[in-house]
A = this chain, B = another copy of it.
Amino acid sequence: MGVYIAGVGMTKVGERWDKGIVDLAEEAAINALEDANIKKIDYVIVSNMVTEFSNRYGNLSGAIVDAIGMIGTPYFRVETACGSGGSAVHLAYSIVKGMGKNVLVIGVEKLSDFVTTVNTSAMMLAEDWVTGLNVGGTFVSLNALALRYYLERFNADHDQIMMLPVICHKHALTNPYAQFRREITLEMVKKSPVVADPLHLLECSAYGDGAAALVLSPDKGDVEIVASVVATDVFRVPNRADPLIFKSVKLAAQKAYTKAKVTPSDINVLEMHDAFSITGVIAFEDLGFAKKGEGWKMMKEEVIGLNGRFPTNTFGGLKARGHPVGATGVYQIAEIALQLRGEAGDNQVENANIGLAENIGGIATTAAVHILRRKNQVR
């Protein structure tokens, strides 16, 4: 059975003091349902990382299903830290493929109800609290260590890596849902405060609230999910053989390419998980778009820009569209769907037939890779 994207919906990402977590989920869900125009939804899957910690909900999916008037419908919350969105879409895909059901996936996160220091703790929950935060590590500092090691080992140019957030911000300018719709320059990234040496503030995604939703169907929609693969890796980064390889991403991507019968060179549009600049560079390599240690060279307009060889994070990515954690993986797939439908507006990539979305949880403890294809290909 095929699995199609019948509808997409999103909210603006940002500090959404105007709405609660259930309201955000409702807005995205209603948009996706209207877009899909499907009467019967058989399952609702909510992806969210830290609601119990940050919003005091222990039955969030129940509250959301009530709010959208779908009482009676089975609901589930799925969580795999920052990878919750991709994981939820994968489970939804499995249900559509195996059982022929219509599934509504809603990714949502609201962090701004809490103060920043608590959010730093919240994000560290994605890694190991005992051997991490308790000894002074944070999610930012772990990624800073990766960047430092990468720069030294591959003799990489940090300035070139900093072009990733610069290009992402450029893409976000014309995205009405983006958290940061303003241009930044390389100079601004370099002058921004060092959060954890050598990682600068403008290389890090920020805290954002938001929700995105998809309706998956076995028969309706112009975009097909031709591969949905999840793979995982050793939990604690210090225990890995090579901290600069995301094995989960590599494994999931290889399986996805095989399943979709494509290679990286066939991909017309890419959404990758740039929680930090270095996270994006490593993913770009492990997805097969560059050799290990050479991804940093590709962080330029000619490669990842809207008219580049591999248009990447075309709505701004985690850095500029925003990173509402449990929702991020759903945003990515919604954005790829808009590109393949030719509905990306000012952000449209030409001849977008095949797209790929990569979402990770923890420091790639888990990875979900989705490959999407336009039903009636254009050339």
Interface residues of A (CB under 8 A from B): 49-50, 52-53, 56-59, 61-63, 65-67, 71-81, 87, 90-91, 94-95, 97-99, 122-129, 230-236, 247-248, 251, 361-362, 365-366
- Bound-state CA distance A236–B65 (Å) is 12
Q: Secondary structure of the A side of the interface? A: mixed
- 17 A-B pairs with C-beta separation under 8 A: A50-B58, A53-B58, A56-B129, A57-B125, A58-B79, A59-B80, A59-B235, A59-B365, A62-B362, A66-B234, A72-B247, A74-B230, A76-B79, A76-B91, A77-B79, A94-B94, A97-B99
- Chain B's closest residue to A49 (CB) is B58
B73 touching A232 by the CB < 8 A rule? yes
Q: What residues of chain B lie closer than 8 Å to A62, measured between beta carbons?
A: 80-81, 232, 235, 361-362, 365-366
Which 6 A-B pairs give the minimum distances between C-beta atoms? A98-B98, A58-B125, A66-B235, A59-B81, A74-B230, A62-B365
CB distance from A275 to the nearest CB of B (A): 14
Q: What residues of chain B lie closer than 8 Å to A80, measured between beta carbons?
A: 59, 61-62, 75-77
B231 touching A72 by the CB < 8 A rule? yes
Q: What residues of chain B lie closer than 8 Å to A56, measured between beta carbons?
A: 125, 129
B65 touching A232 by the CB < 8 A rule? yes
A58 touching B76 by the CB < 8 A rule? no
B79 touching A233 by the CB < 8 A rule? no
B91 touching A125 by the CB < 8 A rule? no
- Bound-state CA distance A98–B100 (Å) is 9
Q: What residues of chain B lie closer than 8 Å to A235, measured between beta carbons?
A: 59, 62-63, 65-67
Contacts A59-B80, A59-B361, A76-B79 given; 17 further ones with Cβ under 8 A? A56-B125, A58-B122, A58-B124, A62-B80, A62-B362, A72-B247, A74-B90, A74-B232, A74-B366, A76-B78, A76-B91, A77-B78, A77-B80, A91-B91, A95-B98, A97-B98, A98-B98
- Bound-state CA distance A124–B366 (Å) is 31
- Bound-state CA distance A126–B56 (Å) is 9
CB distance from A97 to the nearest CB of B (A): 7
Q: What residues of chain B lie closer than 8 Å to A232, measured between beta carbons?
A: 62, 65, 71-75
A128 touching B63 by the CB < 8 A rule? yes
Task: Choose among A90, A94, A99, A234 the residue with the greatest number of B CB atoms under 10 Å from its CB.
Answer: A94
Q: What residues of chain B lie closer than 8 Å to A79, measured between beta carbons?
A: 58, 61, 76-79
CB distance from A144 to the nearest CB of B (A): 20
B91 touching A99 by the CB < 8 A rule? no
Q: What residues of chain B lie closer than 8 Å to A123, measured between beta carbons?
A: 58
CB distance from A92 to the nearest CB of B (A): 10
CB distance from A303 to the nearest CB of B (A): 30
- Bound-state CA distance A361–B126 (Å) is 25
- Bound-state CA distance A79–B122 (Å) is 18
- Chain B's closest residue to A75 (CB) is B232
CB distance from A213 to the nearest CB of B (A): 18
- Chain B's closest residue to A235 (CB) is B66
CB distance from A365 to the nearest CB of B (A): 4
- Bound-state CA distance A94–B98 (Å) is 8
- Bound-state CA distance A233–B49 (Å) is 24
B129 touching A57 by the CB < 8 A rule? yes
A58 touching B81 by the CB < 8 A rule? yes
CB distance from A66 to the nearest CB of B (A): 4
Q: What residues of chain B lie closer than 8 Å to A57, measured between beta carbons?
A: 125, 129
CB distance from A304 to the nearest CB of B (A): 28
Q: What residues of chain B lie closer than 8 Å to A94, measured between beta carbons?
A: 94-95, 98-99
**Cβ-neighbour of A75 out of B98, B126, B127, B366 (below 8 A):** B366
